[in-house]
Amino acid sequence: DTAVSQTPKYLVTQMGNDKSIKCEQNLGHDTMYWYKQDSKKFLKIMFSYNNKELIINETVPNRFSPKSPDKAHLNLHINSLELGDSAVYFCASSHRAAKETQYFGPGTRLLVL
């Protein structure tokens, strides 16, 4: 009965590889988000989808591509991984884009070697 789940929880990979992180929410929410938390614990939004449509696209490299096959899923694909991509990536969801509390997944720790 997990509300927001992410897979995998840990991801160790080599520079240059392509990897995906999956997120699913079973809360019936319309809006989903991806955040990046760097080594200094700073959390910054990357993307947001509302009803499968992209509504937030912060300044991130175009190697990062979100995909939302349906309202309950928001996946993050990263091409040509770089050392600086090492971070914890959090997925979150909310009932609506505005006003609503966001519920976070457990995070995916990505380590690029």
Partner 1 sequence: AQTVTQSQPEMSVQEAETVTLSCTYDTSESDYYLFWYKQPPSRQMILVIRQEAYKQQNATENRFSVNFQKAAKSFSLKISDSQLGDAAMYFCATFPASGTYKYIFGTGTRLKVLA
Binding pattern to partner 1, positions 69-88, x when CB under 8 A? -------------------x
Residue identified by tokens 């991509």 is 85
Residue 108 CB-density burial (10 A; 0-12 exposed, 13-18 middle, 19+ buried): buried
| Max intra-chain CA distance, the chain | 39
Among 13, 45, 71, 95, binds partner 1 (CB under 8 A): 45
Residue 24 CA to residue 75 CA, distance in Å, equals: 8
Residue 54 CA to residue 73 CA, distance in Å, equals: 13
Looking at beta carbons only, is 65 or 104 nearer to partner 1? Answer: 104
Using the rule CB under 8 A, give the single segment among 21-29, 54-62, 64-72, 73-81 that binds partner 1: 54-62
Contacts to partner 1 by CB under 8 A: 31, 33, 40-45, 48, 50, 55-56, 58, 88, 90, 92, 97-99, 101-104, 106-107, 109
